[in-house]
Structure 1
Amino acid sequence: MRVSLKDVAQLAGVSIKTVSNVVNHYEHVTPAMRERVQRAIDELGYRPNLTARNLRKGRTGIIALAVPELGNPYFAELAGEVIDAAAEHELTVLLDHTRGEREREVLVSQGFRARVIDGLILSPLELEPEDLSARTDDVPLVLLGEREYALPYPHIAIDNVAAARSAVRHLIRLGRTRIAFLGARTDSPNRPAQLRLQGWREELKAAGLEGGERLAAPTGGWDRGDGAEGMARLLDSGVRPDAVFAYNDLVAVGAMRVLHERGLRVPWDVAVVGFDDVPESRYGAVTLTTISPDKKAIARLAVSSLVSSLERAAAQRVNGNGDAPPEQQPSVFAPFRLLERESTLGRR
């Protein structure tokens, strides 16, 4: 038999309203009363009816997270962090896989799940500013990633230029002078790739080193096979770098495989730095030096921004100004750090 608020109130010797205040974390409850009610909750094993609570608030208690690639370890880890952060707000997360396709990202952003979800966290790759300008859905939206839309939606990112410069600076300090960037795609709207390429160029220029196009090696995509093919093409072109800064860890792993096959030792002949700090970077035969974005911070910032947007929208409805135009939201940057491992330092 399901335990009710009334059962808890009778055991604690308080009113149902007092139990409700404790369950809903209202501030104006004395510590002694809160402890008394909590003992009764624990003894009876009471669990709040979240469905009923959300219905009273006009919500579903569900938010969506839409990412380009669930198979990519970075996005898989990020999704786990978002789920954990959402659970702290008693929210359930619905996952969407856009495959980085503009049509799919537009569909998600325009609210095709509007009746199911309270809010959306979207990490777009191909979405254009005009796609969001035309958005008519009023479901709160938080954007992840490095594309800047200058629109009134919270935007969580990391400073990709600064992160790339940190990676290249590390290689320069180790005495590397012919540093390639693997994953250059000027034909793609992928903003992180463009920003990391920019950071690579800026740091080489600051050090007075070459950063020309022959060292900017394109790849067909950003997976292991793409990194292997790109590394092979670079070596076959006659270019012999003494270091590689890869767009991400998966590209770096593919590149290291080709370097091994060609008889080049990592890091002695060619040092390698990746980006994302996925689990594979920590457990390979040669552990990978990488830029590690703070995924937990990104997730928490995204969820807290979405919750704030939900609360703001609810307040506007109560106050009768639900049609008030939203204000421009500044970008929020999560921290990152460079993790130095064997692919640049060798085994100690």
Structure 2
Amino acid sequence: MRVGLKDVAERAGVSIKTVSNVVHNHPHVTPATRARVQAAIDELGYRPNLMARHLRKGRTGIIALAVPELGNPYFAELAGAVVDAAADHEFTVLLDHTRGEREQEVLVSQGFRANMIDGLILSPLELEAEDLRSRTDDVPLVLLGEREYDLPYDHIAIDNVAAARSAVRHLLGRGRSRIAYLGARTDSANRPAQLRLVGWREELTAAGVPAPDDLVVPVGGWDRDEGARAMARLLDSGTRPDAVFAYNDLVAIGAMRVLHERGLRVPWDVAVVGFDDIEEGRFGAVTLTTISPDKQAIARMAVASLLRSLSAGDEPGGRELTADYRLVERESTLGRR
């Protein structure tokens, strides 16, 4: 038979209310009583019935997280952080990936799983403001990433322009002056790739360093293969940078492989900075200097925003929340010490 609060209360010799206070970690319980109740919980193997608790509040206890690609280490690490943050509030996370396709992002945002979830955290790539303006689903929504919508949904991002400027400033400080940007996209001005390009150009201009177009290399995607192809195209064009700022760590890792194959040493011949601080970048033959977004903070802020929406009812969102980042200096710009 399932062990309940009454069983624990009887074993500990306290009231059911006291057991509930201990389970919910309320402060007004003496240390001795808390220890006695915890001992009874451990002895009886009591586990809270989270489903019943959520149902009493008219909830499912499930929130959804939809990202472009779970195979991308950044999104995988972010998903893990969201799962942990949700668990702190006794919520389960349903994971979905949209492949960065507008049709799938619209489907997710319009609530095709609305009866299963209490809220949605969505990191879109192609979704447009008009798609969200026509949204009829009332499930709370929090947006991640750098798409700007000016709509009544909380939006969490880092300052990509400032982060890119930090990366380029670091390379300039290492004595580099021909700094390539790998990862440009021309299809939208408000996506991360373009914001990072803006930061690259602004920092070079502020330092009085040329920012020629032949150092800007577009890509068709943001994985290792694309980074390798972009680096090869740049070198084959006869343009020789002394540093590379890559859209993300995967592009940077692909670029470093080509540099190695061409006999160019990182960082002595070409320094490299990535973006995302994925685990792979810490364990390569040359560890990767990178911009590290605070994924834990992004996850906590996203979950907290959803819970705020659940508690606020019809109160609109629309807050712009900025998470922190830092530059992590490693061997790809510093060399081995």
What TM-score bracket applies, with the shorter chain setting the length? over 0.9
| Structure 1: runs of 5+ lacking an equivalent | 314-323
**Cα distance in 2 between the residues matched to 1:249 and 1:235:** 19
2:60 equivalent to 1:60: yes
Q: Which moved more, 1:26-35 or 1:282-291?
A: 26-35
**Cα distance in 1 between the residues matched to 2:48 and 2:261:** 59
Counterpart of 1:131 in structure 2 is 131
Amino acid at match of 1:193: A
SS of 2:66's partner is strand
Counterpart of 1:280 in structure 2 is 280
2:323 equivalent to 1:334: yes
Q: CA deviation at 1:27?
A: 5.8
Amino acid at match of 1:71: G
SS of 2:93's partner is strand
SS of 1:85's partner is helix
Aligned length: 337
**Cα distance in 2 between the residues matched to 1:190 and 1:283:** 32
Checking the alignment, whether the CA contact within 8 Å between 2:145 and 2:157 is kept in structure 1 is: yes
Identity of aligned residues (%): 79
Over aligned residue pairs, what C-alpha RMSD do you find?
A: 1.7
**Cα distance in 2 between the residues matched to 1:127 and 1:121:** 14
TM-score by length of 2: 0.95
Counterpart of 1:75 in structure 2 is 75
Counterpart of 2:196 in structure 1 is 196
For residues 263-315 of structure 1, give each alpha carbon's deviation from its aligned partner in whole angstroms, at most 9, with x where no partner exists.
211111111110011111111111111111111111111111111211222xx
Counterpart of 1:317 in structure 2 is none
Counterpart of 1:236 in structure 2 is 236
**Cα distance in 1 between the residues matched to 2:189 and 2:123:** 13
**Cα distance in 2 between the residues matched to 1:33 and 1:173:** 59
Checking the alignment, whether the CA contact within 8 Å between 1:150 and 1:328 is kept in structure 2 is: no
Checking the alignment, whether the CA contact within 8 Å between 1:220 and 1:226 is kept in structure 2 is: yes
Counterpart of 1:268 in structure 2 is 268
**Cα distance in 1 between the residues matched to 2:292 and 2:69:** 18
Counterpart of 1:46 in structure 2 is 46
Amino acid at match of 1:233: R
Checking the alignment, whether the CA contact within 8 Å between 2:148 and 2:190 is kept in structure 1 is: no
Q: CA deviation at 1:176?
A: 0.7
**Cα distance in 1 between the residues matched to 2:211 and 2:107:** 39
For residues 223-268 of structure 1, give each alpha carbon's deviation from its aligned partner in whole angstroms, at most 9, with x where no partner exists.
0000111111111222111111000010011111111122211111
**Cα distance in 2 between the residues matched to 1:311 and 1:137:** 17
Q: Report 1:124-203 matches (<5 A).
A: 124-188=124-188, 191-203=191-203
Amino acid at match of 2:234: L
Q: Report 1:211-250 matches (<5 A).
A: 211-250=211-250
SS of 2:184's partner is coil
**Cα distance in 1 between the residues matched to 2:336 and 2:26:** 54
Amino acid at match of 2:40: A
Q: CA deviation at 1:36?
A: 4.2
